[in-house]
Amino acid sequence: MADRDNIIEEIFADSDSDGEDNFEGFDLEDLNTTELDDESIHANYNVLNSELWNEGDRTPLPLSFEQEPGLQKEVSDSDSPIEYFELFLDDFDYQNISDETNKYADQFLANKQLKEKSRFKKWRDTTASEMKKFIAIVIAMAIITQMDISEYWTVNPVTSTPFFPSVMSRDRFLLLLAFLHLNDNDKYIPRGVEGHEPLFKLGPLYHRILTKFRSVYKPNQALAIDESMVAWRGNLSFRVYSPDKPVKYGLKAYVLCDSENAYCLRFKLYTGKKSVQPSENGATYDLIMDLMRNYFEKGHILYCDNYYSSPRLFMDLWVLGTGATGTVRSYRKGIPDKLKKAQLSNRGDTATMSYGPLSCLKYLDAKAVYLISTTDTSVNVETRRPDFMRNHEAKVRPSMVHVYDQKMGAVDRSNQMVENYKLGIKTMKWWKKLIFHIINIAIVNSYILYKENCSFNNAMVQRHFRRKLVEQLIQSSGGSITTPLGRPAPRVLERLTGRHFLDKLMEGEKPLHRQCIVCGPAEREMLPPLRPGEKRKRRCGHMTSYKCRQCNVSLCISPCFEIYHTKQEFLLAYKRSRLSSNSSTEE
């Protein structure tokens, strides 16, 4: 096998293209040795000679799978979500994130001329426990969706979410998000310079999490490979455009999943076209060999679609102790011409040819579909799906088609579980979007392991799993979450019916001045439209040194204190009072 001493590090192909010419290259790095010599593999290349194929099916050769699938690490509490999540993101990772974030903040502040009232001047070094709270808030934001980040800290009674301000202030969260870093910028090699690493910004955290995906879990026999997209419309050299995909712009990755439970084992990101050419076997062949390199000689069965499948690939996988089943394009090298010319007249008709362990099936559904397999046959089996064209009887399909339909959707299921709780934070940094996506995959993997290992009575749906995980992350970081007993009283009702008293705004022994919560927003809404080139005043309304002791909001003594505690729509009431006072003054 050509280039047998190399493995692929980064690779990309457009799955909607019709040939391998659009596959934009790969990066060769580490050594990948096998126990097989080249002669034992090249002996199977007669499969490319279509004249050697035989008509009809064959009896599949046995493929032994003796692995014990499941979790490979011990957890102290099998019913605790944080026990599984910390298999992928532990205290060492939080410390690394906080160290790199502090380092970047120091570099930024040392080289930046800040305005007098810049928010960045409030920066103080973060800690590992605070970064754990930050990650908990990020996870919670995917459970509770708001239109904007600031809405999570709003005091508006309609959309307020008290959890977020109880954990961290808005300004602190935005500072952490702005300075968040995973690697040292001083070590960055620019694009176009020798030694440039496209994924440098993701730091060691990215590779550590991906390595743990495959080290903490041993998969079942059936595996599936497919594409995945991370939405991104910003300017990026390796952003891709896929017009036929739900996510048309973004970062493209190739994912290997366990077909039984959709656990993500491998995640390979495309990082741009490489100067090194693929091997003589083709770039898709190289990609499959790279993704499967930890699962050879173990009896696994791979399921893939027609972009990856080829007779040569499937025969070599068989020599490496791995079965395979998948759809295949009719023009792939090795597909027998006689099978291509076979005439199928009725829906459900089949034609089959075989060579050694490999079987190739032509099946007429809505159109002719080609499948190849080293583990399954073309024998018809009944499915659970009713056939509405035949009196609702169970559909009958070739076993190869039926098994492929059952096992191939693992990557799509994994993507669906991730997309249901994707983070809506808008960021200008692609690597922040990606690392949040990887953490989201880690949560889904944690949930899958939790379902397989927890006691039946304590099983939770994913929404409750994430909610419990957020609570445990906050508690493990030294924080606390208080749950009030009974139904809480509405804030509006408390504001309008309770007893309220004025108090001074103080910070220790220092008096403070804050903008009034009533006249400030109301005066701003009453301002006329800006003229071209005109700038808005920084503040509107009055600055006050008083607050309501019970409501803890800054208020002018008169008339704002009375309006706030007697009118439900206090902004509208203030504007009406202003208009009436202005009209009386004019008279």
Q: Which residues contact 468 (CB under 8 A, 6 or more apart)?
A: 81, 460
DSSP H or E stretch at residue 174 = helix 170-179
Nearest Cα residue to 203 out of 95, 84, 294: 95
pLDDT in tens, 36-54: 444 444 445 566 776 788 8
Answer for the pair 471, 85: CB distance below 8 angstroms, yes or no.
no
Residues of each domain in the chain carrying CATH 3.90.350: 8-69+220-412
pLDDT in tens, 224-280: 999 999 999 988 989 999 888 888 899 999 999 999 999 999 999 988 777 677 788
Q: How many angstroms from the chain centroid is the CA of residue 210? A: 13
Answer for the pair 234, 428: CB distance below 8 angstroms, yes or no.
yes
User: DSSP letter string over 105-134?
Assistant: HHHHHHS----TT-GGGG-----HHHHHHH
Distance CA 443, CA 560 (A): 47
The confidence score (pLDDT) of residue 101 equals 96
Q: With a cut of 60, say whether residue 62 has pLDDT above it.
A: yes
What is the rounded (10 degree) CA torsion for 164, 169, 173, 175?
170
Distance CA 302, CA 304 (A): 7
Q: With a cut of 80, say whether residue 220 has pLDDT above it.
A: yes
Q: Which residues contact 498 (CB under 8 A, 6 or more apart)?
A: 550
Answer for the pair 32, 292: CB distance below 8 angstroms, yes or no.
no
Q: What number of other Cβ atoms are within 10 A of residue 56's Cβ?
A: 10
The confidence score (pLDDT) of residue 69 equals 93
pLDDT in tens, 158-170: 888 999 999 999 9
Distance CA 23, CA 17 (A): 9
pTM, 2 dp: 0.77
Distance CA 32, CA 9 (A): 12
CB neighbour class for 108 (10 Å; exposed up to 12, middle 13-18, buried from 19): middle
221: tokens are: 């026999």
Determine the average pLDDT of the residues in 339-349. 89
Could you say which architecture CATH assigns to the domain 8-69+220-412? Alpha-Beta Complex (3.90)
Q: What number of other Cβ atoms are within 10 A of residue 513's Cβ?
A: 11
pLDDT band at 561 (very low <50, low <70, confident <90, very high): very high
What is the biggest distance separating any 2 CA atoms in the chain, rounded to whole angstroms?
Answer: 105
165: tokens are: 């301000």
Angle at 278 between CA 272 and CA 279, to 5 degrees: 160
CB neighbour class for 400 (10 Å; exposed up to 12, middle 13-18, buried from 19): buried
